[in-house]
Chains A and B, each alone.
Chain A
Amino acid sequence: MSISLSKGGNISLSKTDPSLKNVIVGLGWDARPTDGADFDLDASAFMVKDDGKVRSDSDFIFYNQTKSTCGSVEHTGDNRTGAGDGDDESVIVLLDKVPTDIQRLVFTVTIHEAELRKQNFGQVSQAFVRIVNKDTGVEVTRFDLSEDASIETAMIFGEIYRHSGEWKFRAVGQGYAGGLTALARQYGINV
């Protein structure tokens, strides 16, 4: 049973699902049925220290850098149209392999060239982002992007963070304008 988190809510992953070792952050949406530029949503992950910044640019996992050097975070590939069922893009996290100096893993969803294409989440059908236990296939939580962030083009979905020796998840659900570039700068990436 998936727990529906409201903005700002947090759960202990370790307590909610003690078997949780490997996490899938799944992003899905429907391909555009109408005429016009495709909807291209991108899932990304930022591995940040306790100061909220990355150690280096290699801690930014996205469509052009699909695996972290430590191997704990992996982006499974860029889907540019939303064609196909289920998750269209996903980021896999192996929690046991996350380096100890990484305090938080921040997951974001952005629309590629949203400004140029004049797009936002509300124009996309069935857009969602969710957390799934990779080993059991059980969904832990999800956001409905189309409904919850309709006029936004970027969203910080949530973060998995260390707290007193366990992993917790916080549902941030904060929408932004400015796209992936603005988000990357916020976490200390040189773009």
Chain B
Amino acid sequence: MPVLNANSLLLSKGRRLPLTDIFANYQVAARFQIGLSITGLSETVDFACFGLDAQQKLSDDRYMTFFNQPQTPCGAVSLAATAGDPAGFCCQLDKLPTRIDRLVFTAAIDGNGTMRQMQAGYLRLLLADTEMARFSFNGGDFADEKALMVGELYRKDGAWRFNAIGQGFNGGLAALVRHFGAEVTEEQAKPKPVENKVSLSKITLEKRGDKISLDKPKTANGYGRIVCNLNWSTYTPQKKSFFGGQTAGQPIDLDLGCLYELSDGTKHVVQALGNCFGDYGNLPYIHLAGDDRSGEVAEGEFLYINGSHFDRIRRICIYAFIYEGAVSWTQADAVVTVAVPGHPVIEVRLDSQGKNSNMCAIAMLENSQGALKLTKLNEYFSGHEKLDNHYQWGMKWRSGRK
């Protein structure tokens, strides 16, 4: 059990001091503990330690210590809570490579709460189970932060110092990780545009019916953010008149969309027509970002599928259709890419001579006992209803305009 120490140093927010002021006769080979606690929140709080370089970036993500990665490769930092603390770390700083310049101890709320809702919290430093210093805080010290940098140990003029930071980000863990310069693959992250340049790692499904099965996800994050992109390389960038009539020329407006069927049997559509843009964070976990009506957006149109919830999805039929303008698919020269994090980008080129058919089924994503199965379709139809009938979706259709 930790020993009570009436002489424990009280640290206020912003306080910076040498570690030798906290631990008398401190040597870098000494092992000490950091204890962390936040109480009064109904959501789970995840604590982590980020080992940053001199630019204050997480250049080596093995130096993020948390429940999925309980210690650094060097063993300098490991997850180890002292009795009485909900979370904690054991540190031995002489083991740390010199390129690691600071250790930031963080707390992030996993849910909708904010730090102002906490009752109380602390970060304390212990030596041989005896508390030597404590930085206490409470909900009144914060506003809408969802993630905090609670405190940090850092090198300064050849010695280690401690700073009681107590600052954070409303954007939660994702904002925190971005602050540390790391890639974010979780859902709040900004969409990363699919690269349009030809990459050798791309897999192109040439023939109709080609299939790719992606292995079952091993992480809790499922397949991450699946990004579908429709782009067309030739277009006449002319604007539509206010009432939707055509001005001179023939601007091409291609739309990306999908039919989906959830594991509970719900069937619907995500597309700009009818303003069915979906939702990324909630059902159906599919989101159409914007509507590029002119082809002026260089990246084209994006459809995002939240792979973290792929277990809720039975199948998705991705299609593109000519809303107006393009005379033929060959003229539109459209390409659809599907990018699943950690896998090569899959590219489907719409090069068939599908005259008088304004709709093309591109690919089918199916949940095959938990594994994501992708099939190239490349079938042309004269409208939604025909496509629906062909793949036996079974929805009712009526015409509309956007």
User: How far in angstroms is the closest Cβ of chain B from A23?
Assistant: 27
Interface residues of B in 341-383 (CB under 8 A from A): none
Which A-chain residue is minimally distant from B170 (CB atoms)?
A35
* A34 close to B14 (CB less than 8 A): no
Q: In the complex where A35-B143, A35-B144 touch, is A123 in contact with B13 (Cβ < 8 A)?
A: yes
Which A-chain residue is minimally distant from B168 (CB atoms)?
A34
* B165 close to A123 (CB less than 8 A): yes
Pick the residue among B15, B16, B143, B164 that contacts A36 (CB under 8 A).
B143
Kindly state whether residue B163 has any CB partner on chain A within 8 Å: yes
Q: How far is the CA of A62 from the CA of B240 in the complex (A)?
A: 56
Kindly state whether residue A187 has any CB partner on chain B within 8 Å: no
Kindly state whether residue B179 has any CB partner on chain A within 8 Å: yes
* B13 close to A118 (CB less than 8 A): yes
* A151 close to B12 (CB less than 8 A): yes
* B179 close to A33 (CB less than 8 A): yes
Kindly state whether residue A110 has any CB partner on chain B within 8 Å: no
Q: How far is the CA of A32 from the CA of B165 in the complex (A)?
A: 12
* A150 close to B17 (CB less than 8 A): yes
Chain B residue numbers with a CB within 8 Å of A147 are 16, 156, 161
Kindly state whether residue A188 has any CB partner on chain B within 8 Å: no
Q: In the complex where A122-B163, A147-B156 touch, is A34 in contact with B16 (Cβ < 8 A)?
A: no
User: How far in angstroms is the closest Cβ of chain A from B117?
Assistant: 15
Chain A residue numbers with a CB within 8 Å of B195 are none
Q: How far is the CA of A35 from the CA of B169 in the complex (A)?
A: 5
Kindly state whether residue A120 has any CB partner on chain B within 8 Å: yes
Kindly state whether residue A146 has any CB partner on chain B within 8 Å: yes
Kindly state whether residue B167 has any CB partner on chain A within 8 Å: yes
Kindly state whether residue B279 has any CB partner on chain A within 8 Å: no
One digit per residue, 1 when the CB lies within 8 angstroms of any chain A CB and 0 when it does not, for chain B 13-55 equals 1111100000000000000000000000000000000000000
Chain B residue numbers with a CB within 8 Å of A146 are 16
Pick the residue among B14, B144, B167, B168 that contacts A121 (CB under 8 A).
B14
Kindly state whether residue B141 has any CB partner on chain A within 8 Å: yes
* B167 close to A150 (CB less than 8 A): no
Pick the residue among B17, B145, B165 that contacts A35 (CB under 8 A).
B145
Interface residues of A in 118-142 (CB under 8 A from B): 118-123
Which A-chain residue is minimally distant from B149 (CB atoms)?
A34
Q: In the complex where A150-B16, A150-B17, A151-B14 touch, is A118 in contact with B141 (Cβ < 8 A)?
A: yes
One digit per residue, 1 when the CB lies within 8 angstroms of any chain A CB and 0 when it does not, for chain B 139-160 equals 0010111000100000010000
Interface residue SS majority, chain A = loop
Q: In the complex where A33-B179, A35-B144, A147-B156 touch, is A122 in contact with B14 (Cβ < 8 A)?
A: yes
Q: How far is the CA of A151 from the CA of B12 in the complex (A)?
A: 8
Of A33, A118, A123, A146, most buried by chain B (CB within 10 Å of CB) is A123
Which A-chain residue is minimally distant from B142 (CB atoms)?
A36
Q: How far is the CA of A118 from the CA of B165 in the complex (A)?
A: 13
Which B-chain residue is minimally distant from A35 (CB atoms)?
B170
User: How far in angstroms is the closest Cβ of chain B from A84?
Assistant: 18
Chain B residue numbers with a CB within 8 Å of A122 are 13-16, 163-164
User: How far in angstroms is the closest Cβ of chain B from A69?
Assistant: 38
Chain A residue numbers with a CB within 8 Å of B156 are 147
Interface residues of A in 128-184 (CB under 8 A from B): 146-147, 150-151
Chain A residue numbers with a CB within 8 Å of B167 are 32, 34-36, 123
Q: How far is the CA of A121 from the CA of B16 in the complex (A)?
A: 10
Q: How far is the CA of A35 from the CA of B178 in the complex (A)?
A: 13
Chain B residue numbers with a CB within 8 Å of A150 are 14-17, 163
* A123 close to B14 (CB less than 8 A): yes
Which A-chain residue is minimally distant from B141 (CB atoms)?
A118
Q: How far is the CA of A146 from the CA of B167 in the complex (A)?
A: 15
Which B-chain residue is minimally distant from A122 (CB atoms)?
B14
Chain A residue numbers with a CB within 8 Å of B165 are 123
Q: How far is the CA of A32 from the CA of B164 in the complex (A)?
A: 16
Chain A residue numbers with a CB within 8 Å of B168 are 34-35
Which A-chain residue is minimally distant from B171 (CB atoms)?
A35
* B169 close to A34 (CB less than 8 A): yes
Chain B residue numbers with a CB within 8 Å of A151 are 12, 14-15
Of B141, B163, B166, B171, most buried by chain A (CB within 10 Å of CB) is B163
Interface residues of A in 25-71 (CB under 8 A from B): 32-36
Chain A residue numbers with a CB within 8 Å of B171 are 35
Chain B residue numbers with a CB within 8 Å of A118 are 13, 141
User: How far in angstroms is the closest Cβ of chain B from A150?
Assistant: 4
Q: How far is the CA of A151 from the CA of B13 in the complex (A)?
A: 8
Q: How far is the CA of A83 from the CA of B164 in the complex (A)?
A: 23
Q: How far is the CA of A33 from the CA of B57 in the complex (A)?
A: 13
Q: How far is the CA of A118 from the CA of B12 in the complex (A)?
A: 11
Q: How far is the CA of A118 from the CA of B141 in the complex (A)?
A: 8
Given contacts A35-B168, A123-B14, A147-B156, 9 further A-B contacts (CB under 8 A): A32-B167, A33-B179, A34-B149, A35-B143, A35-B170, A121-B14, A122-B163, A147-B161, A150-B16
27 A-B residue pairs with Cβ-Cβ distance under 8 Å, sorted by A, are A32-B167, A34-B149, A34-B167, A34-B169, A35-B144, A35-B167, A35-B169, A36-B143, A118-B13, A118-B141, A120-B13, A122-B13, A122-B14, A122-B15, A122-B16, A122-B163, A122-B164, A123-B166, A123-B167, A147-B156, A147-B161, A150-B14, A150-B17, A150-B163, A151-B12, A151-B14, A151-B15
Query: Which 7 pairs across A and B sit closest by C-beta, in order of nearness?
Result: A122-B14, A34-B167, A123-B14, A150-B16, A120-B14, A35-B170, A122-B16
